[in-house]
Chains A and B, each alone.
Chain A
Amino acid sequence: MSLLKYESQLREPLVDGDKDYHQVTEDICRPIEAKPGRLWYIGFSIAVCLLLFGIYSVYREVTYGTGEWNLNKTVGWGWDITNFVWWIGIGHAGTLISAILLLFRQGWRTGVNRAAEAMTIFAVICAGQFPIFHMGRVWMFFFVLPYPNSRGPVWPNFSSPLMWDVFAVGTYFTVSLLFWYTGLLPDLATLRDRARTKFRKMFYGVTSFGWSGSTKHWQRHESLVLVLAGISTPLVLSVHTIVSFDFATSVVPGWHTTIFPPYFVAGAIFSGFAMVQSLLIITRKVLNLEDYITVGHIEAMNKVIILTGSIVACAYLTELFVAWYGQNQYEWWAFRQNRANLFSPYGWAYYGMMFCNVVSPQLFWSRKLRRNIAFTFFMSVLINVGMWFERFVIIVTSIYRDYLPSAWSTYYSPTIWEVGFYLGTLGLFFTCFFLFAKYFPVIAVAEIKAILKTSGENYKKKMTETEKMDAEKFYIEEVENASAH
């Protein structure tokens, strides 16, 4: 019962300010019901412009073929696959926050999980564009799906890592979407019951599926979320593992290593959290949600960043060491000449990656910097730049100089349409996020209410007073009052 709820005073409150249940609803629903501010319109317009440029770039690619990109005989995977891996990595934070942190019973998850899950879904949508358009004849993309067809039937090769990717990314997208949406249902019902306009009544009426808040439904909901969290946890780990198999199962020097799965998963979480930081720091400011996404939340995420960043750093160095220690001349060449040599054509990318992902996150050991919002924002952008470099380094430096030195002269750099495609997915991502922030609650209202009485600032103050009370008085005041009702 509520009077027995207790949380240590050493823990920071997760909800600042003097809040009750109604105030939580008000704070989170107000930005949705009010007209969006100027900043929203500016941001949304920029995102839509980027998206339109991206659509035009894709139109060029589809019309004139992949020759519109600078891919060549040796560099068959360039910006497109780099961006695919980058986006899919970013898409790992949401489900990690909502699944793994749920199983670990981390209360701070509640403030950030909704936005992070939405971000995951948009990132996976962006990621999916790249392999699909990389196929060239995109109108035949359904050939990857295993269905009884009139072509033989010719089935896809189920032993191929690229086929595993289709299943992994498809499943990940579906499960993330279901997870996000089942969590949203109660909050959409809250919006429905508050709705004053005809459109909002209809829209939230349809999207909330007739949720009523019945105890039995909550019981099933809790069970559903717990099991989904349980099966999403290995799913999150499997998705980037399978993406890493695309590289690791090949025999290309620089790709053919067993360290890839854990290294990729850690990198994915690292970049995902950085993206969550970038988005939430802006969101909390624009929507006035500083009481719900507190500095404590940002610090907690920075701790995850430093952990995963250090795993990534460890993986980089291990990889380098093993390339030397393994005594395979091709592997060592890929590392010594194509990557770690600063004066090689792509040396700048390798050292850029090392600086952004290995050196700079170590600054987060300082508590002061972890709790500094401007610095965190700067770092989150830097880390995502670094993680983009990582994928670029892995892909391009391993293949641009293959076994035929005659092919070495070609230096791969993207055309404007390759860059445009990338900018277009950034536009798609932010367009989706802006629409989400306008029409959906960016914070899980029901989940915040569930932790309010243990982790709300005003309730924690009351707890301190109760703590000082002697047992007899506590019994008279709390227990007898409660049973008197």
Chain B
Amino acid sequence: MSIKKFVVGCFDDEKVLFPAIKNIRRAGYKIHDVYTPFPVHGLDHAMGIRETSLHTAGFIFGIIGTATALGCMGWIFTSDWPLNIGGKPHFPLPAFIPITFETTVLFASVGMVMTFCYLCQMMPGVKKHHFHPRATDDLFVMVIECTEKTNETEVISFLQTNGAIEINVQEAETGWWFGRYDKQQKLYRHEEVGY
């Protein structure tokens, strides 16, 4: 959670975006993120982002679901309240399979979606700084972070030669906060920056 300075370059074609990312990474600039209106395949590899392990989380949640269902049903029917249903066994595994399966799926999907929201910091009422309103429409927005060593004008001209159609410099909060999108809000620092 801090306010940083960014150079924002907008591209209107993936064909131009990919070589630009390559060149910018090679030049040693730090790409904060690329915001795209739809999932562009191979972009994560081009940016050098590692694979997500969300599916592993899903597997773990699923196993927890299986164990919960079997454990609960087994405990209830064998020790807590062993009902005699037509003299049938107290732990009828085949009859427990449907509920076990459903609970596995339920735990895996609910757990995965919650993990997804946690990792991406998403929740109703969460507000973030969006670098360009058309990033969810038709532009691919590349955001380069400025450190003390970065020469802004150099980055801007570099982006220009790499085919960005719109370039600007923004100071922005990188994290999230609780807020409403219909209100302009000022954050705790940098009074002059209106969010």
Contact residues in A for B127 (Cβ distance below 8 Å): 205, 210
Known interface pairs A155-B80, A228-B109; A221-B123 also in contact (CB < 8 Å): no
A214 interface hit (Cβ, 8 Å)? yes
Contact residues in B for A215 (Cβ distance below 8 Å): 33-36, 40, 43-44, 47, 49
Please provide the chain A residues from 175 to 203 with a CB less than 8 Å away from any CB of chain B in the complex. 175, 178-179, 182, 185-186, 189-190, 192-195, 198-199, 201-202
A242 interface hit (Cβ, 8 Å)? yes
Minimum CB–CB distance for B110 against chain A, Å: 7
Report which of B39, B77, B133 forms a contact with A221, defined as CB distance below 8 A.
B39
Q: Is the CB of A146 within 8 A of B72?
A: yes
Instruction: Tell me, in angstroms, the Cα distance from A202 to B124 when the chains sit together.
Output: 11
Encode contact with A along B78-118: 1 for CB under 8 Å, 0 otherwise: 00110101001000100110110111011011101100110
Encode contact with A along B155-181: 1 for CB under 8 Å, 0 otherwise: 000000011000000000000100011
Report which of B38, B72, B108, B119 forms a contact with A450, defined as CB distance below 8 A.
B38
Report which of B51, B109, B133 forms a contact with A178, defined as CB distance below 8 A.
B109
Among A189, A216, A235, find the residue whose CB has the most chain B CB atoms closer than 10 A: A216
Q: Is the CB of A209 within 8 A of B126?
A: yes
A122 interface hit (Cβ, 8 Å)? no
Minimum CB–CB distance for B46 against chain A, Å: 9
Interface hit among A17-25, A330-338, A380-388, A399-407: A17-25
A114 interface hit (Cβ, 8 Å)? no
Contact residues in B for A154 (Cβ distance below 8 Å): 81
Instruction: Tell me, in angstroms, the Cα distance from A199 to B181 when the chains sit together.
Output: 10
Report which of A146, A182, A209 forms a contact with B76, defined as CB distance below 8 A.
A146
Among B38, B54, B176, find the residue whose CB has the most chain A CB atoms closer than 10 A: B38
Known interface pairs A158-B99, A446-B39; A190-B128 also in contact (CB < 8 Å): no
B137 interface hit (Cβ, 8 Å)? yes
Number of interface residues of A (CB under 8 A): 77
Contact residues in B for A189 (Cβ distance below 8 Å): 136
Encode contact with B along A130-155: 1 for CB under 8 Å, 0 otherwise: 00000000000000001000001111
Report which of B14, B34, B98 forms a contact with A164, defined as CB distance below 8 A.
B98
A483 interface hit (Cβ, 8 Å)? yes
Q: Is the CB of A21 within 8 A of B137?
A: yes
Report which of A1, A25, A201, A216 forms a contact with B42, defined as CB distance below 8 A.
A1
Report which of B13, B52, B92 forms a contact with A223, defined as CB distance below 8 A.
B52
B71 interface hit (Cβ, 8 Å)? no
Instruction: Tell me, in angstroms, the Cα distance from A193 to B37 when the chains sit together.
Output: 11
B182 interface hit (Cβ, 8 Å)? yes
Report which of A171, A205, A222, A231 forms a contact with B103, defined as CB distance below 8 A.
A171
Instruction: Tell me, in angstroms, the Cα distance from A174 to B113 when the chains sit together.
Output: 11
Q: Is the CB of A210 within 8 A of B35?
A: no
A447 interface hit (Cβ, 8 Å)? yes
Q: Is the CB of A216 within 8 A of B85?
A: no
Report which of B33, B42, B96, B110 forms a contact with A214, defined as CB distance below 8 A.
B33
Q: Is the CB of B35 within 8 A of A1?
A: no
Q: Is the CB of B108 within 8 A of A231?
A: yes
Instruction: Tell me, in angstroms, the Cα distance from A446 to B162 when the chains sit together.
Output: 26
Q: Is the CB of A485 within 8 A of B16?
A: yes
Q: Is the CB of B49 within 8 A of A219?
A: yes
Contact residues in A for B126 (Cβ distance below 8 Å): 209-210
A224 interface hit (Cβ, 8 Å)? yes
Minimum CB–CB distance for A100 against chain B, Å: 15
Known interface pairs A171-B105, A220-B120, A221-B116; A485-B37 also in contact (CB < 8 Å): no
Q: Is the CB of B19 within 8 A of A483?
A: yes
Chain B residue with Cβ nearest A478: B15
Instruction: Tell me, in angstroms, the Cα distance from A235 to B108 when the chains sit together.
Output: 12
Instruction: Tell me, in angstroms, the Cα distance from A356 to B43 when the chains sit together.
Output: 49
Contact residues in B for A186 (Cβ distance below 8 Å): 37-38, 136
Minimum CB–CB distance for B173 against chain A, Å: 12
Instruction: Tell me, in angstroms, the Cα distance from A3 to B15 when the chains sit together.
Output: 7
Please provide the chain A residues from 272 to 303 with a CB less than 8 Å away from any CB of chain B in the complex. none
Encode contact with A along B2-27: 1 for CB under 8 Å, 0 otherwise: 00000000000111101110000000
Q: Is the CB of A205 within 8 A of B83?
A: no
Instruction: Tell me, in angstroms, the Cα distance from A204 to B52 when the chains sit together.
Output: 27
Q: Is the CB of A449 within 8 A of B14?
A: no
Known interface pairs A212-B130, A231-B62; A223-B124 also in contact (CB < 8 Å): no
Instruction: Tell me, in angstroms, the Cα distance from A232 to B51 when the chains sit together.
Output: 23
Please provide the chain B residues from 30 to 75 with a CB less than 8 Å away from any CB of chain A in the complex. 33-40, 42-44, 47, 49, 51-52, 54-55, 58, 62, 72-73
| 4 additional contacts (CB under 8 A) given A210-B126, A223-B54, A450-B39 | A1-B42, A205-B181, A210-B121, A227-B108
**25 pairs of residues in contact across A and B, judged by CB atoms under 8 Å:** A1-B42, A2-B14, A3-B15, A21-B138, A164-B99, A167-B103, A168-B102, A174-B106, A178-B113, A186-B136, A190-B136, A201-B181, A201-B182, A204-B181, A205-B182, A214-B33, A214-B34, A215-B43, A218-B38, A219-B49, A224-B54, A228-B109, A232-B105, A234-B105, A482-B15
